[in-house]
Structure 1
Amino acid sequence: MNYRGWVTVISLVLLLALAIFSFLSIFDNSNYSINNYQVLNWEHVEEDGIQESEIVETAGKSGVNLGVKKDTTFIYVEIGEVENLRDRFFLEVENPTFRVVQPYFLGDDGVVVPGAIRGISSGYENNLMQPNPNFEFPDSIGNIIGVIFKIYGKEPLKFRARLNEKSDFRKSLGNKLLFASVYAGIMLALFLYNMILFFMIRDRVYFYYCFYILFICLAQLSLSGHSFYFFLDKNVKLYELSIVGFTAMSSIFVVPFIQLFLKTKAYLPRVNRFFPLIIGSYLLALVLRLLGMVEVSYQITDLNGLIVVIAFVSVGVYVAKTGYRPAVYFLIAWGGFLFGLMIYIFQNLGVVNLGSYGNIPMLVGTAIEAVLLSLALADRINILKREKEEEQHAKLEVLKENERLVREQNVMLEEKVKLRTEELEQTLLNLQNTQTQLVNQEKMASLGQLTAGIAHEINNPINFVSSNISPLKRDMKDMLEILDMYRKKGEDEFTENTKKELNELEEDLEFDYLVEEIGLLLKGMEDGAKRTVEIVKGLRLFSRVDEQDVKKVDIHDGINSTLVLLNNSMGGNIEIKKEYGHLPMVECLAGKINQVFMNIISNAVQALQEKTDNNSKPTIIIRTTSNEDEVQIEIEDNGPGMPIHVRERIFEPFFTTKAVGKGTGLGLSIVYKIIENHHGQLNVVSEENKGTTFIIKLPIYQNVNSNEQ
């Protein structure tokens, strides 16, 4: 069991003992109440009788309550017939706050005998620490029929007398001290216990409750008179002030305690704003008490007590209906306090006879309240723990929900980033394609202009040469015929010497060889002229790269012109096989398609030239086929082929396997874009050491505006 459990058990045991003693005291028959009280206006008292006195007021059985009196008050009580009065009883005044109390005993013979002076300012050495004044009956008179009490005090005059059995006096005194000690012990234990909790938990509700317990305990001990002897060092003024002072101080702490304990700010925010007025009212009572306005301060204190009871019980009931468990503890605890208060009121009204234990109900009520509220505060720890666990669980759920939302947001962000990345990649690709197209268009435009210019410049002289070769051959043929005629006629007409000289000249000049050589030279000139014409024609066909209009083109002419231009780069060691099928005229941009053939065939030539060690017969095969809607061109080489990772990237812009400075990586990217713009398809089939085949499919008809190409 932890320390909270031990404190709770000990408090309950002490409280039970206190309740039992209180219950037994109700049936204590060793005390006899005096039921007949009269307030007198008595100017003076003489030993031989009462002079000039009159009855001012006749009080009931519950005693006399005259409020605050500035002057001395005289109260007459009738003793009646009591057997062995002097030997059996003490006379007790049940109020510890009187400054001076002096009895005057009246005999049946009219003799008046003054008794001892008691009270908090009388200077009487009260070694037994008995708060209430006690008196012995004198032996100097006969039968005592009554007592006149001379009373003076600064506090409200509440007077009631009682006969106490002498044989039970010390027992009664011990019980009272026991009650007060147990009560103080319980309250002190609860004070320390809750103060420890405050320092452990740092919850202000424990701080307010600690000092509420302390001051309500001191207030009750002041009402019973014990604080005068045990705490206040018999200081009369402090003691008189303590009754209102301790009560006011307890209110300063009980109001914020109730506010926090019942959470009135949350449950009753409008009512919560008025609670500070209660503190202000109690402080007003304290200030008035300090200023000497005793009766007003007590009236305000009593009114505040009524307001506090009604307000706190109402608030507790309302909050308890909401299901807030500490409010139930509060109502039970406050019910214990109200029960003690009710018994105390019944005692004052004479309904209940508690004998000399008249202040016990309030002690028991406040002790019950303190213990139950301490239990409630202990339970509050469990509630706070549970609320904290629920809060942590809620926070955990919120964290999980936040984590889930973060994951969803991350997924959404990743999707957005992915989409944005794809957009950026597409934009970059478009920019690269645009850049490639611009470079390519500029390049091919320049190349077209260059080739067109070269073709134009070469065309005129080569036309001159090619057109003059045929007349030259014809003229040379005619000249040889004339020369042959001269030779035949000379055989008949020339002299032998002339013939001999001519024969020697022919032999020296090798006339027959000259005739044969002239034929060979003319044939070579004719072949060279024809070859030059073909090259010029190829240049003129290829120079159409800058054309922007879709025209019907003979695909074979474009392939042939490309081969003519690449003939020199082939070096004569690459065999070209043409497997042409029947192709219709195809609508396309002739220059662009020629560029496709140029890039693919030149790549094939370069691949074959770079890997010649294991290829004794490098070959390029060009096949063409067609169907109703499209033509297909296959350009196949028996070169080294491509690995998979290269084949997957060959159409990417700026990707190249060539050494730095030997390739831009734009050729096949341009080719792919051209075929795509023509609504065609470009595929590649390649394996390492098995060659490469590019398959081009072009629609025969372009059903788009040429400006969109």
Structure 2
Amino acid sequence: MANYAPSIRKKITLGYFAIVLLIIGLSLFAYLELSYIEQKVIAGEAISEFFDTTLEIRRFEKNYVLYTQRPDYVENRSYVDKAQALLETNKAAFEAIAQPATLRILREQLSRYRDLMAHYALLSRSQSAAYIDEAQLEKMKLEGMIRMAGKTITTTAEEMSKTERQKIQRLLNTSQSVLLFSLVFLSIITIAVGHFLSRLVVRPLKMIERNMEVIAEGNFDSIKIDSKDREIASLTRAFNKMLRELELRQRHIVQSEKLASLGTLLSGVAHELNNPLSNISSSNQILLEEMQEARVSQSDTPQAAGGPFPDPAFALELLSQISDQAERARNIVRSLLEFSRDREFQKVVLPLKKLLEETIRFIKGQVPPNVTITLDIPDDLMIPADKQRIQRAFLNLIKNALEEMLLNGSITITAHKHTAHEKSGADESGIHNYLKYRGKCTLEEDTVDIQVVDTGPGIPADILPKIFDPFFTTKDVGKGSGLGLFIVHEIIEEHGGCIAVDSEPGRGTTFLIQLPLKERT
């Protein structure tokens, strides 16, 4: 018993056998009931035949009394013999509906009736020639006795026949009720077993279906199904194993996407580093030339020894420029290292405008000449965020907008504080009325609302709800992983915020990011 593992197959088989046994039991009961009714019907036929026989006895009795025809007496006598034979042949049937005393009296009455009819027939034959008053009186007396005995026999037979019919009727009514109850009971049991088996199988499958819907949205959490059945447990284990594999593969792909983003950054950083390095090189070259000229001048005019070599103020200015440009290059490299370093999620208060300026600087080398990026953000606007992750989200959004704009256009990034329950648009609900896909954006808390608006070609309405799905892309095979906006969505939700989008073909695209100013409790 310790190793017993319940399974759907066993439960279905058990339910099947339970229904089969129930049907067999009810069928056996119905068979026995029908056999009993058959016996009662046979007994009822014998009793009905006995009653019909008594009626025939009385009919031929009356004919014989009226017409004194010998054949009538013979028929009467044969029916009396038949009645007596029926009583003996179907003794059990008669004893089931009548008291022993009643049957004893009935037998005695039949024997007495037979004797009276025999005496009456003998008297009729002997007095046929000479009719006398004494014989007539005796015949009349016999006729009265015969009628009384015949009436007793007929009445008793009628009562027994009526009793038997009533018993059969009650038995039929009972059988109908039992049959109806059996059908109802069988139907209820069948429905109950079917419902149980359906819940047994369908409920776990429904739970798996709901989990699959969550998985389709990009959540690869392991599924948990409250079922001890071996098949469901095995399916759950296999499904969770598949989820772990998918999650692992997605992490690899996300890492690849991160490396691709890093490549973009390196391109931008190379462009950014080129400027300070060029300035350092230029300043250094000028300073070297000045020093060489001063040295030549000193060697030509020894009397000038100890003079300025070169001009200290000018040299200090050049050295200051070299120091500033070196610091600028160091900041660029530090930002790159912060972006590329893999570390735990940690929120800090960041100046949003400075953060976006740094992010744009990373991607500056990727911006086409005829595309402008404009920031309209207050200098003192701060957000609580993980710098590395939120930069990656902004970088992916800007890259996505740049990829959609071919030759020219503009990207405008605006931000402002949003107070809880303050309306953001012209609609009654207060949620940005122009946003067709709102995600989980609400008006129930203080947030920083960041809008990224581009003048690109826009997104068709049928594609709009799918853009945050993992691996969804409209680009050709090999030209996009479909994870850019998915990563943005994941990062924003990791910060407790939400992202929404509105777009129409030919009118550009607007992304709204809401980041909470306070941690949710």
Q: What's the TM-score once normalised by structure 1's chain length? A: 0.42
Given residue 430 of structure 1, which amino acid in structure 2 is its aligned partner?
F
1:430 matched to which residue of 2? Answer: 220
2:506 corresponding residue in structure 1 = 689
The 8 Å contact of residues 348 and 384 in structure 2, kept in 1 or not, is answered as: yes
What letter corresponds to residue 618 of structure 1 in structure 2? G
Once the 2 structures are TM-superposed, how far is the Cα of residue 560 of structure 1 from its aligned partner? 2.6
Per-residue deviation at 1:647? 1.8
Is the alpha carbon distance of 1:369 and 1:11 closer, same or farther for their aligned partners in structure 2, counting shifts above 3 Å?
Answer: same
Alignment of 1:252-263 (within 5 A): 254-255=91-92, 258=93
Superposed displacement of residue 597, structure 1? 0.9
CA shift at 1:445, angstroms? 7.2
From the CA coordinates, give the structure whose radius of gyration is larger: 1
Amino acid at match of 1:470: S
1:15 pairs, out of 49, 54, 78, with 54
- Aligned residue in 2 for 1:624: 415
**1:660 corresponds to:** 477
Amino acid at match of 1:216: A
SS in 2 for 1:659: coil
Q: Following superposition of structure 1 onto structure 2, how do residues 447-526 of structure 1 map, counting pairs within 5 Å?
A: 466-474=279-287, 476=289
Residues in 1 aligned to 2:383 and 2:166: alpha-carbon distance in whole angstroms: 95
Aligned position for 1:182 = 79
2:372 corresponds to which of 567, 571, 575: 575
Matched, 1:564 2:342: no
Q: State how far apart, in whole Å, the 2-side matches of 1:642 and 1:459 are.
A: 32
Task: Tell me, in whole angstroms, the C-alpha distance in 1 between the residues paired with 2:465 and 2:393.
Answer: 19
Is the strand fraction higher in 1 or 2?
1
Q: Alpha carbons of 1:183 and 1:664: their partners in 2 closer, same or farther (altered >3 Å)? A: farther
Corresponding residue for residue 107 of structure 2:
341
Q: Deviations over 1:411-466 (max 9, x none)?
A: 89756643443245446732469447733664477679989999999999997764
Partner residue of 2:403 out of 590, 606, 614: 606
Contact 1:637 1:692 in 2 (8 A): yes
The CA deviation string for residues 241-278 of structure 1, in whole angstroms up to 9 with x for no partner, is xxxxxx5xx37xx54xx5xxxxxxxxxxxxxxxxxxxx
In structure 1, what is the Cα distance between the partners aligned to 2:458 and 2:101?
Answer: 102
Find the counterpart in structure 2 of residue 243 from structure 1: none
User: Aligned partners of 1:608 and 1:682: how far apart in 2?
Assistant: 21
Matches within 5 A, 1:251-400: 254-255=91-92, 258=93, 312=95, 330-331=97-98, 337-343=103-109, 355=119, 386-387=173-174, 389-391=176-178, 393-395=180-182, 397-398=184-185
Residues 446/644 of structure 1: CA separation in 2 closer, same or farther (3 Å cut): closer
SS in 2 for 1:675: helix
1:439 equivalent in structure 2: 252
For residue 418 of structure 1, what is the aligned residue in structure 2? 206
- Look up the equivalent residue of 1:559 and give its one-letter code: L
The secondary structure found in structure 2 opposite 1:648 is: helix
Q: Which residue of 2 aligns with 1:262?
A: none
Report the Cα distance in structure 2 between the residues aligned to 1:594 and 1:552, rounded to whole angstroms.
13
The amino acid that maps onto 1:418 is: K
Give the AA of the match of 1:340. Answer: L
Cα offset, 1:621, TM superposition: 0.9
Write the distance in 2 (CA, Å) between the matches of 1:571 and 1:658.
Answer: 20
| Deviations 1:211-264 (CA, angstroms, capped at 9, x unpaired) | xx9x934xx7xxxxxxxxxxxxxxxxxxxxxxxxxx5xx37xx54xx5xxxxxx
Deviation at 1:638, TM superposition (A): 1.7
* Pair 1:633-2:447 in alignment: no
1:529, CA displacement in angstroms? 9.2
SS in 2 for 1:670: helix
Q: What one-letter code is carried by the residue in structure 2 that aligns with 1:394? A: F
In the alignment, the residues of structure 2 paired with residue 565 and residue 581 of structure 1 have an alpha-carbon distance, to the nearest angstrom, of 21
Change (3 A) 1:345 1:367: closer
RMSD over aligned CA atoms reads 5.6
How has the CA–CA distance of structure 1 residues 457 and 651 changed in structure 2, closer, same or farther, with 3 Å as cutoff?
A: closer
1:680–1:412 Cα change, 3 Å: same
Quick one: which of 364, 385, 407 aligns to 1:588? 385
User: Does the CA-based 8 Å contact 1:436-1:666 persist in structure 2?
Assistant: no
Query: TM-score scaled by structure 2?
Result: 0.54
With a CA cutoff of 8 Å and minimum separation of 6, indicate the structure with the bigger relative contact order.
Answer: 2
User: Would the alpha carbon gap of residues 633 and 386 (structure 1) be closer, same or farther in structure 2, given more than 3 Å must change?
Assistant: same
Distance 1:632 1:481, change over 3 A: farther
Contact 2:414-2:451 at 8 Å conserved across structures: yes
Structure 2 unmatched runs, 5+: 1-41, 122-141, 222-242, 298-321, 420-445
Shift of 1:635: 1.0
Q: Secondary structure at the match of 2:512?
A: strand
Residue 481 of structure 2 aligns with an amino acid whose one-letter code is T
Q: CA–CA distance in 2 between the matches of 1:15 and 1:345?
A: 13
CA contact (8 A) 1:336 1:366 kept: no
Are the equivalent residues in 2 in contact too, given 1:550–1:587 (CA < 8 A)? yes
Change beyond 3 A, Cα 1:605–1:365: farther
Residues 77-99 of structure 1 deviation map (CA, whole Å, 9 limit, x = unaligned) = xxxxxxxxxxxxxxxxxxxxxxx
Alignment of 1:216 with 2:73, yes or no, is: no
Structure 1 residues 638 and 369, CA, compared in 2 at 3 Å: closer, same or farther? farther
Asked whether the equivalents of residues 462 and 533 of structure 1 are also in contact (C-alpha less than 8 Å), the reply is: no
Are the counterparts in 1 of residues 264 and 363 from structure 2 also a CA contact under 8 Å?
no
Contact 2:268 2:363 (C-alpha < 8 Å) held by counterparts = no
Letter in 1 for 2:491: I
Give the whole-Å Cα distance in 2 for the aligned partners of 1:688 and 1:18: 109
State the SS of the aligned residue for 2:457. Answer: coil
Deviations 1:346-375 (A, max 9, x none): 789x9x9984799x9999999888887677
| Corresponding letter in the other structure for 1:645 | D
The Cα shift of 1:599 comes to 1.6
Cα distance in 1 between the residues matched to 2:212 and 2:168: 60
Which secondary structure does the structure 2 equivalent of 1:651 belong to? coil
State the one-letter code of the partner of 2:516. P
Given the superposition, is the C-alpha separation of residues 638 and 391 from structure 1 closer, same or farther in structure 2, using an over 3 Å criterion?
A: farther
Q: 1:203 — aligned with what? A: none
Query: Relative to structure 1, is the Cα distance of residues 372 and 578 closer, same or farther in structure 2, using a 3 angstrom cutoff?
Result: same
Q: Deviations over 1:630-674 (max 9, x none)?
A: 322211112222233322222222322233333333222222222
CA distance in 1, matches of 2:333, 2:475: 31
CA distance in 2, matches of 1:572, 1:455: 14
Q: Give 1:678 deviation, angstroms.
A: 1.1
1:695: how far off? 1.1
Distance 2:510 2:348 in 1: 27
Please list the CA deviations of residues 499-518 of structure 1 after superposition, one character each: whole Å capped at 9, or x if unmatched: xxxxxxxxxxxxxxxxxxxx
Q: Distance in 2 between matches of 1:346 and 1:9?
A: 22
Structure 1 residue identity aligned to 2:458: G
Matched positions, count = 377
Q: Is the 8 A contact 2:63 2:72 kept in 1?
A: no
Task: Output aligned runs, 1:226-241, within 5 Å.
Answer: none
* Residues 353 and 381, structure 2, Cα contact 8 Å, conserved in 1: no
| Residue 573 of structure 1, CA deviation | 2.8
Deviation at 1:181, TM superposition (A): 3.2
1:536-575 equivalences under 5 Å are: 536=333, 539-544=336-341, 546=343, 548-575=345-372
Q: Output the amino acid matched with 1:422.
A: R
Change in Cα spacing, 1:447 to 1:618, as seen in structure 2 (3 Å) is closer
**Percent of aligned positions with the same letter in both sequences?**
21
1:24: how far off? 10
| One-letter amino acid of the structure 2 residue matched with residue 687 of structure 1 | E
